[in-house]
Structure 1
Amino acid sequence: MRREFDSMDDSERLVAQVQRSLASRTPLRIRGGDSKAFLGRAVDGEELDTRGHRGIVSYDPTELVVTARAGTPVAELNALLDDAGQMLPCEPPAFGTAATVGGAVASGLSGPRRPWSGSVRDFVLGCRVITGQGKHLRFGGEVMKNVAGYDMSRLLAGSFGCLGVLTEVSLKVLPKPRERRSLSLELNAAEALRELSAWRRAALPVSGACHVDGTLHVRLEGGAGSVASAVDRIGGAGLDTGFWESLREQRLPFFDDPRALWRLSVPNNTPLEALPGAVLSDWAGAQRWLKSDAPAATIRQIAQSAGGHATCFTPLAASEPFHALAAPLLRFHRQLKQQLDPHGIFNPGRMYADL
């Protein structure tokens, strides 16, 4: 049954502020809980605070769809879904209690389940956004469908507020797994990659795989029978399921290392030995967290040579936090920014200096 909720609609104020900024060509720094303000380049501009525009607009557990305003705390949304036995499969990290739904979508960050369930973008069905023309428009809906032209709902995921002000988002949710088990095995990095490849070929119900400090941590989710069978095959010791939240929120001891933190997105068979520093391997090897004092150029060259890219998660550790775009992609980004934010008022320079 579809449920309606009391919520706070602050969209008139947000639209009015955007329209004033357009008239005066004043840049805006769009913010929610600021839990991810460390990620990306600093933005100089008038603050546009979305936290007053909050609340669950509607939730239909039978249709697996929830619609929330951008300023809604992620914790509030997760609590609602948990009560109904459902979840956001992409596990967006909060990095504290202040994180908002709008910020989770705008940053596009996903948790340990991402390779097996999909990214934040994959679960965005529709949205409302204040455009670079000062209009408050709705895109998409509450069902998966193909559309012609830009899919604005998904373009906003991972855009860091550079394309428009997200005010509302509809998300697909899923039931929680019936059974969940976590295991740990003492393996070196090469052995862990080989085992993960074998388990993938055997279609084991893996939904999390992290290697750190000589130990492979594995999460299994699904039906009771399939999980039990996988446990028998994998073996190892039992693991507290709280490990995955600590990994997602970067609370593991690995993240206490004072060196700069880098996220490398690389093919999952990339040798760990090539990385200069302490490494935590997530997403079955496709996401590498690196603690290193090596120059940014060195780390990015290693990632690029492996067919991936590197993002710096430590402010001021690199002059440019995001990996430079190839010329064709940079040209597309410029064109997209010009189309959606022609006066350049939304988070100017947050991702790249010339955007």
Structure 2
Amino acid sequence: MESTALKDIADRIRAAAADRTTLSIRGGNTKAFYGEAAHGEPLETAALAGIVSYEPSELVVTVGAGTPLAELEALLAGQGQCLPFEPPRFAPGGTVGGTVGGMIAAGLSGPARASVGSVRDYLLGLTLVNGRGEVLVFGGQVMKNVAGYDVSRVLAGSMGALGLIAEASLKVLPVAPAEATLDFACSQADALRLLNEWGGRPLPLNASAWRLRDGVGVLSLRLRGAVAAVEAACTQLGGERQDAGRAAAGWQSLRDQQHPWFSAGAGALWRLSVPQTAPVLDLDGAPLVEWHGGQRWYLATPGESQRVRAAARAAGGHATLFRPAPGARHEARFDALSAPIERIHRALMNEFDPDAVFDRGRLLPARTTAH
């Protein structure tokens, strides 16, 4: 049965379609910086907040899209469970932070993503209001409840261009029994070599981060799993074991980009997604390397944009302008899509939102928003 809030939202979407009005979906508004600039009238999801159902023994929670992530994670923590992919909350002091709908729409994951998967991998099903104001339900509440193509996962990272996510069912996991963080003094090249070597061994690797600390390269490695496995790995790997509380705060600062590295320069923040086995990239400055080498953050001046994108492509990956430099002229946030992929994007948008009610510009540059 539809709630009053959901009916009101569906009515507004139908009215916008009739009036040719563009709507821009907004939850906690903590990721307004991400993607291209938003256009259109705000369509708030706050009225869609709340826990719909939670079955700790089944490892499934169904939650309204407007629910703050902090609220959901507090509920899970009370049962010794978590969202293992550690979605960023981007919650500056005193703010509510990101929402569940924004988490799915942005498709961002935290430090553990390379080991445990992304938000897409934990989506069991969701309720969507499309551009016609129709309420659609995809998937369900169990992993086997998907026949054919899993439409719900298409919406992860769609930036609100396909419709308004109203409700989602998520798989959750128990918090690991043991955790330890080891630090190793090494160069970036040695860190990448070590991570590649460790990845081929039965170790409880969970997250990694390499950066310069006081001019010295430091690789932090987080282990999670059974007590015996974590302790055995600590003995095998060596390194300097970190205080648990301090280490947890450090990983949290990486998750929400509050780590000092992110404020070390005034340039644009670039996220490069490359194969974990890619060597050190030919770019200026010392990056922050996460996801066992697969995600590399760089701070660069606006004039280096082409070089950054070229370096990512040469390594077999792509680059995203995550946050532009203050006052910099506008440039595309995402790499240009190949013609076949762009056709797929357009086809999906036209199917879910034929009247272009939802703001497509957040995801695609203006030249690709025609339908």
Aligned position for 2:226? 223
- Find the aligned partners of 1:328 and 1:148 in 2 and give their Cα distance: 25
Task: Return the offset for 1:26.
Answer: 0.5
- Find the aligned partners of 1:180 and 1:93 in 2 and give their Cα distance: 20
Task: Return the offset for 1:241.
Answer: 2.2
- Find the aligned partners of 1:133 and 1:49 in 2 and give their Cα distance: 18
Aligned position for 2:47? 52
Aligned position for 2:357? 345
SS for the counterpart of 1:339 is helix
Cα distance change, pair 208–318 in 1 and its aligned pair in 2 (3 A): farther
Task: Return the offset for 1:272.
Answer: 2.3
Aligned position for 2:269? 261
In structure 1, list runs of 5 or more residues that go unmatched. Answer: 1-7
In structure 2, list runs of 5 or more residues that go unmatched. Answer: none
The CA deviation string for residues 172-228 of structure 1, in whole angstroms up to 9 with x for no partner, is 000000000111110111111121122111121010011001000000011111100
One-letter amino acid of the counterpart of residue 258, structure 1: A
Aligned position for 1:286? 294
Alignment of 1:287-326 (within 5 A): 287-293=295-301, 294-315=303-324, 318-326=330-338
Asked whether the equivalents of residues 196 and 277 of structure 2 are also in contact (C-alpha less than 8 Å), the reply is: no
SS for the counterpart of 1:319 is coil
- Find the aligned partners of 1:335 and 1:149 in 2 and give their Cα distance: 18
Aligned position for 1:336? 348
- Find the aligned partners of 2:313 and 2:127 in 1 and give their Cα distance: 36
Aligned position for 2:125? 126
Residue range with higher mean Cα deviation, 327-336 or 27-36: 327-336
- Find the aligned partners of 1:318 and 1:235 in 2 and give their Cα distance: 47
Cα distance change, pair 115–238 in 1 and its aligned pair in 2 (3 A): same
Asked whether the equivalents of residues 87 and 108 of structure 2 are also in contact (C-alpha less than 8 Å), the reply is: yes
RMSD after superposition: 1.4
Task: Return the offset for 1:151.
Answer: 2.4
TM-score, length of structure 1 as denominator length: 0.95
Cα distance change, pair 208–118 in 1 and its aligned pair in 2 (3 A): same
Cα distance change, pair 9–221 in 1 and its aligned pair in 2 (3 A): farther
Task: Return the offset for 1:46.
Answer: 1.3
Quick one: which of 237, 240, 243 aligns to 2:250?
243
TM-score, length of structure 2 as denominator length: 0.91
Asked whether the equivalents of residues 204 and 225 of structure 2 are also in contact (C-alpha less than 8 Å), the reply is: yes
SS for the counterpart of 1:245 is helix
One-letter amino acid of the counterpart of residue 331, structure 1: R
Asked whether the equivalents of residues 192 and 279 of structure 2 are also in contact (C-alpha less than 8 Å), the reply is: no
Quick one: which of 271, 277, 293 aligns to 2:279?
271
- Find the aligned partners of 2:4 and 2:219 in 1 and give their Cα distance: 46
Quick one: which of 65, 87, 90 aligns to 1:92?
87
- Find the aligned partners of 2:350 and 2:58 in 1 and give their Cα distance: 37
Asked whether the equivalents of residues 296 and 318 of structure 1 are also in contact (C-alpha less than 8 Å), the reply is: no
Aligned position for 1:5? none
Task: Return the offset for 1:275.
Answer: 2.1
- Find the aligned partners of 2:152 and 2:258 in 1 and give their Cα distance: 31
Task: Return the offset for 1:90.
Answer: 0.8
- Find the aligned partners of 2:4 and 2:206 in 1 and give their Cα distance: 37
Asked whether the equivalents of residues 68 and 99 of structure 2 are also in contact (C-alpha less than 8 Å), the reply is: yes
Asked whether the equivalents of residues 269 and 285 of structure 1 are also in contact (C-alpha less than 8 Å), the reply is: yes
Task: Return the offset for 1:345.
Answer: 1.2
